[in-house]
Each structure stands twice: as structure tokens, then as C-alpha cells.
Amino acid sequence: MAEGFTSAYGKGRVEAFSAGMEPKGLNPFALEVMGEKGIDIHGQYSKPFSEELAREMDYVITVCGNAEGRCPLLPSKVRRVHWPLEDPAQATGSPEEVREVFRRSRDEIDRLVIEFLFSFDSI
């Protein structure tokens, strides 16, 4: 979801990648709730995180639970930011209850991406 918002708001001025220590497929609830905001994330997928990939980054933003602690040592030029968000993929309950967890996460990610991107004069 963060990649989707970053790509939409960055309008080609920034490049976002979804990556993870244990990348998983695109969650159908994420696809659905992002579509509610008019953002199509069909083509996105989480890539395996690697030191090589990190060398290409200016920032690495970790989200959810233990992601910050599991992120490997980064090159000194790379700035790390952590957003301690609830992992919506861990939600349980009825489909509507899970969907609501995804909506809350989506809205928090939306707010954080806007705050992050627009903290830079050049964006």
C-alpha cells in the first residue's frame, strides 16, 4: 500500500519499491481497499530485500511489527525510518472485519506517505 501511495503522490519524482525479508504475494484485501481510493496496485509485489537493493536507496522505510529489528545493516548513505503499524495481514474475523483493519492501515499509511513526501522541499 505504501508503494502505491508513494507512486501516486510522487508522480514520477520518486521511485518506490516494496521489499521484505520474507516477501509474500499481493493480499486481495490490500488490492480491494486501495482500489477504493482509486489506486491500482495489481502490478505491485514485494521483492526480496538485499544489500544490493539497499545500495540503490536513499531511504528504507520499515513498517509493521518486527520489520525494523529484522532489517539488515544498511549502507551509511541510506536513511532508515520505521512506521510501527499493525500488520493487516494478521487480522482475523469476518471478511468485513478484516477489510476494516486493512482500511485503517491504508488510511494510516496514506497519512504517513503524505507527511514523508511533503517534508522535502524538492518533492
Which H, E and C letters describe 55-96, residue by residue?
CCCCEEEEECCCHHHHCCCCCCCCEEEEECCCCHHHCCCCHH
| Res. 103: pLDDT tops 90 | yes
Q: Which residues contact 47 (CB under 8 A, 6 or more apart)?
A: 17, 18, 19, 20, 23, 53
* Averaged confidence pLDDT in the chain: 86
Alpha carbon of residue 24 to chain centroid: 13
| Res. 53: pLDDT tops 90 | no
| Res. 3: pLDDT tops 60 | yes
Instruction: Give the model's pLDDT for residue 55.
Output: 82
| Res. 67: pLDDT tops 70 | no
All cell numbers assigned to 42: 495489481
Instruction: Give the model's pLDDT for residue 40.
Output: 95
Q: Give the three-state DSSP class for 19.
A: strand
Q: Choose among 77, 99, 80, 79: nearest CA to 88.
A: 99
Q: Give the three-state DSSP class for 20.
A: strand
Instruction: Give the model's pLDDT for residue 96.
Output: 98
Domains of the chain: 2-117 (3.40.50.2300)
Instruction: Give the model's pLDDT for residue 48.
Output: 83
Percentage of the chain beyond pLDDT 90 is 45
Instruction: Give the model's pLDDT for residue 70.
Output: 64
All cell numbers assigned to 75: 549502507
pTM, two decimals, is: 0.86
Instruction: Give the model's pLDDT for residue 92.
Output: 96
CA distance 35 to 118: 23
